[in-house]
Amino acid sequence: MRDIANIRENPGKILVLGSYPQGCQTILDFDYLSGKETPSIVGIVTGSGRFQKYFWGNSEVLIPCFTSTLAAAEALSNITWMFNVNSGRRALMSTQNFFEDFPDADGGHIFAEDVPEEHALTLLHDYQQKGKTIIGPAGVGLIVPGALKLGVVGGVDWRQLEKNRLTLPGSVAVLSASGGMINEIITMVASTDHQISFALCFGGDRFPSTSPKDAFLAAQKDPNTSHIVYYGELGGQDEYDVADLLKTKQVTKPVIAYIAGVIGESFEQPVQFGHAKALAGSNDETASAKRKALAASGVTVAQSMTDFAKAIKEIPSSQPTTHFDRAINTNRIASKFSSTISKETGDGYEFIGSSLQDWTDRGDIALQITSALLGKQPKSQVTTDFIRTVFLLLVDHGPQVSGALTTIITARAGKGVVDSLAAGLLTVGPRFGGAINDAANEWFDGVSENLDPRQHIESYARQKKYIGGIGHKKYRLGLPDPRTKQLAAFAEQLPTHRYFDYAKSIESITTTKKGSLILNVDGHVAALMLDILENEEGYDTNQLSGLIKADFFNALFVIPRTVGFVAHYLDQKRLDEGLFRLPDDDILLQ
């Protein structure tokens, strides 16, 4: 088991496996009240959503979600613990996936009850006995005041954390087999003007990974722990292991214990209590026998909960720390929606992490727009330079194209700038302006699935579908589009450009069939943007896939073309040619 003192010094970060909002919120409240600058939970593996919203103190924070531990590993590198809230049947598989993808992690807490015993033994042998720290199954976790809260131990309400001073260091270790009782015992300790050094719940299943023996040794080794308070139950042999530790002086710190379940000895046949392990199959597993063994080893054994509380009260008191630097409002209300783009501050308005005044001082609208598209300021100047070049090249393609023409017609009908612009934008789609995202999808799928370019082309030919980013009405092989030369030059600035290479390999085949089936501007923009995001901004395949699903790449057309449409609108207002109407000769009337 990992040293408690080491956890205090370096508590680490947590990846949550499954969805348990209450469990996550109590960990974040603990972190905040402990004075941490950032949440210890840095990701959640769940099938729903890209973020989950939680309170961080009195404000809110978005925790990123991932579809798998592998996806989380591609984005996160500093994970120390897992908080596994999956069902009992999925506990083993999800834990195995976690350690496969985060082999350097220290361990985690498995919250589920009724984990199959074969699975529980595998967890014990494959992880706990090989140096990992697994708390559970069927427990409520581990808490080290001010450092780590791994589970719901200590309560889910922040007021309970505050009342029992669970963010402040103490000297009493609380150990329990019961998740329901451990919080009661923590409250007993706090009510007698003591504070805990740590609290750990082993769990009530037959084969918890962390045993009482492990926890007692951890408490003995912990320099902050002066006394150990233990709550056990009938069933099993754990208390005899604990007694041996005291007899052999491996544990020398004072121990106060209560073993529940004496009532079970009143029945002729063994009675199964709430936990799977709470069943005395022989006389030495009864609560009375365990109490006797512990008492013989020097443990102060209580015969009732009242005596237990009195014994805890008699622990030499130390002046409790009651100072809290932070507070949480009792009436926190979740926001209706989230925005990471802008906000109003005392200094005015902030946009993508900088005030509008700072953006003005920088004087680079391309950098500002690039930051807006990415939701964060780019890491590389190449990214900004590429998007600037794209915008300069795509601002307008003449009045003949559908978007510009529709804008012009609407303006000449007497409508305003918003109506005219909207009319032009509504024509953007698969046949006009919407091909960049399609092309990005083509190149992404081709590279990700390691498709052979010829098979890619043939599959589209059989379906009689066009390949996004391929083909031009005016330019052809031998008569290249001059804009593509400027775009292609960006490939020379990248260490690798696998998407652009794939797109060019497609072009090398399609142009043998027809000279006009070249890699057009849309195809260049899509491929190079993928390569730049991967190389310069560190985007992984999941993030790139998310951008494609969000229609990100078409924004590279919509933003500059909006300027072109507005220009055409204003041009028509200056010319004032009146309502546009097609002559009858231009229409086939039947």
Strands 196-201, 141-144: pairing is antiparallel
Q: What is the pLDDT of residues 315-366, one digit of tens each?
A: 987 665 656 678 898 888 888 888 888 988 888 999 998 999 999 999 999 9
Q: Helices (DSSP H) in 248-346: which residue ranges?
A: 287-296, 305-313
Q: What is the pLDDT of residue 250?
A: 97
The answer to which of 20-29, 109-118, 412-421 has the lowest mean pLDDT is 109-118
Per-residue pLDDT at 277 exceeds 60: no
Q: What is the pLDDT of residue 30?
A: 96
Query: By percentage, how much of the chain surpasses pLDDT 90?
Result: 73
480 and 402 share one domain: yes
80 and 196 share one domain: yes
Per-residue pLDDT at 314 exceeds 80: yes
| Domain-located, residue 375 | no
Q: What is the pLDDT of residue 26?
A: 97
Q: What is the pLDDT of residues 1-26, one digit of tens each?
A: 899 999 999 999 999 999 999 999 99
Q: What is the pLDDT of residue 184?
A: 94
Boundary-marking domain end, from 313, 342, 364: 313
43 and 162 share one domain: yes
293 and 396 share one domain: no
Are 126 and 100 in contact, with CB atoms under 8 Å apart?
A: no
Q: What is the pLDDT of residue 35?
A: 93
Per-residue pLDDT at 206 exceeds 90: no
Amino acid at 212: P
Name the nearest CA neighbour of 533 among 486, 559, 500: 500
304 and 394 share one domain: no
| Domain-located, residue 583 | no
> What pLDDT band is residue 268 in, cutting at 50, 70 and 90?
low
Residue 9 DSSP SS3 = helix
Per-residue pLDDT at 280 exceeds 50: no
Q: What is the pLDDT of residue 283?
A: 67
389 and 298 share one domain: no
Provide the domain count of the chain: 2
| Domain-located, residue 361 | no
447 and 304 share one domain: no
283 and 396 share one domain: no
Per-residue pLDDT at 140 exceeds 50: yes
| Domain-located, residue 296 | yes
| Domain-located, residue 498 | yes
Q: Which residues are catalytic?
A: 275
Chain mean pLDDT for the chain: 91
Strands 59-66, 41-45: pairing is parallel
Q: Which residues contact 1 (CB under 8 A, 6 or more apart)?
A: 133, 210, 214, 215, 217, 218
Q: What is the pLDDT of residue 265?
A: 56
Boundary-marking domain end, from 313, 343, 374: 313
Q: What is the pLDDT of residue 279?
A: 42
Q: How confident is the model over 83-96, as a mean pLDDT?
A: 95
| Domain-located, residue 504 | yes
Name the nearest CA neighbour of 483 among 431, 532, 518, 535: 518
112 and 14 share one domain: yes
Boundary-marking domain end, from 313, 330, 363: 313
Per-residue pLDDT at 272 exceeds 50: no
Per-residue pLDDT at 205 exceeds 80: no
Q: How confident is the model over 403-432, as a mean pLDDT?
A: 95
Per-residue pLDDT at 67 exceeds 60: yes
Per-residue pLDDT at 475 exceeds 80: yes
| Domain-located, residue 235 | yes
Amino acid at 237: Q
In three-state form (DSSP H/G/I as H, E/B as E, the rest C), the secondary structure along 395-450 is CCCCCCCHHHHHHHHHHHCCCCHHHHHHHHHCCCECCEECHHHHHHHHHHHHHHCC
Give the best-scoring range by mean pLDDT among 115-129, 325-339, 406-420: 406-420
- For residue 9, the enclosing domain spans 4-313
Cα–Cα distance for residue pair 136/113, rounded to 1 Å: 9
Q: What is the pLDDT of residue 432?
A: 86
For the chain, the C-alpha Rg in angstroms (whole number) is 33
The answer to which of 35-39, 126-130, 169-173, 428-432 has the lowest mean pLDDT is 428-432
| Domain-located, residue 349 | no
CATH code at position 60: 3.40.50.261
Q: How confident is the model over 423-433, as a mean pLDDT?
A: 90
Q: What is the pLDDT of residue 463?
A: 85
Q: What is the pLDDT of residues 484-540, one digit of tens each?
A: 999 999 999 999 999 999 999 999 999 999 999 999 999 999 999 999 999 999 998
Per-residue pLDDT at 116 exceeds 70: yes
Q: What is the pLDDT of residue 1?
A: 86
